[in-house]
Amino acid sequence: MARYPWLLAAILSVVYLARPTSATALTYKLAANEQHCVFIHNDRKGVKVAFYFAVQAGGAFDVDYEVRGPNDELVLEGNKERQGDFVFTANELGEYSFCFSNDMSTFAEKLVDYEIAVEHEQRAELPTRPGTTPEQTTTLEESIFKLSGQLSTISRNQKYFRTRENRNFSTVRSTEQRIFNFSVIESLMMVTMSCLQVFIVRFFFQGARKGQLNFSIFPTQVSERQQTRVTIANT
């Protein structure tokens, strides 16, 4: 029972030992022909900046991005990318800009998830317990940092699979809509062809009836003429 408080303290120290991090995770709806920028201020040289984004919905799930430093120096750039996960070192002090552009779309909106995290390399020190050796503390620290790294990997994998799920669901909805439209067009074509066939058949029958009527009237007119001629001859 005496080990449980120490075990609990070791687990809670994951939060204490984690690198100091300032992060921003947002979801933004990027309109057509719009450019959206986010700015962070770096007050220390040599810090690691993690930049992640993924297009969750809209159009072809692609977006243009650009990252620039304080002196307008280009750090990262990409065109028509669906997802990105980058880590770079901020060696300059000042403001960094992270911009997304949807200039390639005429009317399609894009739903973009992005996260910007600034991590410092320095580690916090684990509070020592009386009676423990430095080797035990170091081993515990390494285990905790490995656990923290694995949790970060799981979190990124979850984001990746979420993005893939949204894209696959969008593909299914698009296919379903196309099948529905094709079915409606096919039904309209069948109704149109049926009406056209009925009209053609009725037209043929009406033409045949007119021909029979003309043929029945023509011999009567001929016989009347013959009778007139015979009457004139007898006279």
Domain housing 217: 134-235
Q: Does residue 109 fall inside a structural domain?
A: yes
**What does the DSSP assignment read for 116-128?**
EEEE-S--PPPPP
Strands 74-81 and 35-42: unpaired
Q: Does residue 12 fall inside a structural domain?
A: no
Q: Say yes or no: 170 and 235 in one domain.
A: yes
How many Å separate Cα 175 from the centre of its chain? 14
Q: Say yes or no: 82 and 109 in one domain.
A: yes
pTM for this entry: 0.59
Determine the pLDDT at residue 24. Answer: 55
Q: Say yes or no: 69 and 44 in one domain.
A: yes
* Closest by Cα among 154, 178, 162, 25 to 82: 162
Determine the pLDDT at residue 16. Answer: 45
Determine the pLDDT at residue 1. Answer: 41
Q: How far apart are CA 50 and CA 117, in angstroms?
A: 5
Q: Say yes or no: 114 and 156 in one domain.
A: no
Q: How far apart are CA 45 and CA 24, in angstroms?
A: 20
Q: Does residue 127 fall inside a structural domain?
A: no
Q: What is the pLDDT along the chain (235 residues), one digit of tens a residue?
A: 444 454 444 444 444 444 445 555 688 999 989 999 999 998 888 888 989 999 988 888 889 999 999 988 999 999 999 889 898 999 889 999 999 999 888 888 898 989 888 876 555 555 566 665 555 567 777 788 788 778 878 887 888 888 888 788 888 888 898 999 999 999 999 999 999 998 888 888 876 666 665 555 555 554 555 555 555 555 5
Sign of CA dihedral 22, 25, 26, 30: positive
Q: Does residue 24 fall inside a structural domain?
A: yes
Determine the pLDDT at residue 215. Answer: 52
Determine the pLDDT at residue 154. Answer: 86
Q: Which of 78, 99, 122 is the last residue of a domain?
A: 122
Q: Does residue 116 fall inside a structural domain?
A: yes
**What does the DSSP assignment read for the chain?**
-THHHHHHHHHHHHHHHSPPEEEEEEEEEE-TT-EEEEEEEE-STTEEEEEEEEEEESTTS-EEEEEE-TTS-EEEEEEEESEEEEEEEE-S-EEEEEEEE-TT-SS--EEEEEEEEEE-S--PPPPPPTT--HHHHHHHHHHHHHHHHHHHHHHHHHHHHHHHHHHHHHHHHHHHHHHHHHHHHHHHHHHHHHHHHHHHHHHHHHHHHHHHHHHHHHHHHHHHHHHHHHHHHH-
Q: How far apart are CA 27 and CA 111, in angstroms?
A: 7
How many domains does the chain divide into? 2
